[in-house]
Amino acid sequence: MRDNASRWLLVFAALSGAVTVALGAFAAHGLKSQLPPYLLGVFETGVQYQAWHSLAIFGCAILARILPAKGVLYAALFFVAGIILFSGSLYALALTGIKWFGPITPMGGVCFIIGWVALAVAAWRSA
């Protein structure tokens, strides 16, 4: 079970990393002249957080093969949710200008925080 989950997380992390690069290039080349600086910054913040947490998911997927703790997998799932909610809402806000997406962003941030805490707890318990 854990190896299968780890494999899917590795696939997600790799695809998310590829999407991150594409979105970063899109922001730098396609959106730079289309969006006001504030919204371009919003979009770029989404890209940065997606990049960091794609790497975090990759690390969790590798750790899940080493550590017996379910907390590592939970951390990765919270990172996935964080990317969808945090980065996704920032992309939607920047591209549409609809302010309704703004309140979703903190929920993604909370998911990121929970993921990091879950990872810390799993590491602590693994000793």
pLDDT digits (tens, 9 = 90+) for 20-69: 999 999 999 999 899 999 999 999 999 999 999 999 999 999 999 888 77
More confident residue, 94 or 67: 94
Q: Measured between alpha carbons, how far is 16 from 42 in angstroms, rounded to an integer? A: 18
What is the number of domains present in the chain? Answer: 1
Structure confidence at residue 1 (pLDDT): 52
Rg (CA), the chain: 16
Q: Measured between alpha carbons, how far is 125 from 121 in angstroms, rounded to an integer? A: 6
**Token digits of residue 61:** 């997927």
φ, ψ of residue 90 to 5 degrees: the values are -70, -40
**Token digits of residue 60:** 């969790």
Q: Measured between alpha carbons, how far is 23 from 46 in angstroms, rounded to an integer? A: 9
Mean pLDDT of 74-83: 98
Average pLDDT over the chain, rounded to whole? 94
Instruction: Judge contact between 63 and 57, C-beta under 8 A.
Output: no
Task: Output the pTM of the full model.
Answer: 0.94
**What percent of the chain is predicted at pLDDT more than 90?**
85
> Roughly how many angstroms between the first and final C-alpha of the chain, as a whole number?
22
**Domain housing 66:** 1-125
Instruction: Judge contact between 84 and 63, C-beta under 8 A.
Output: no
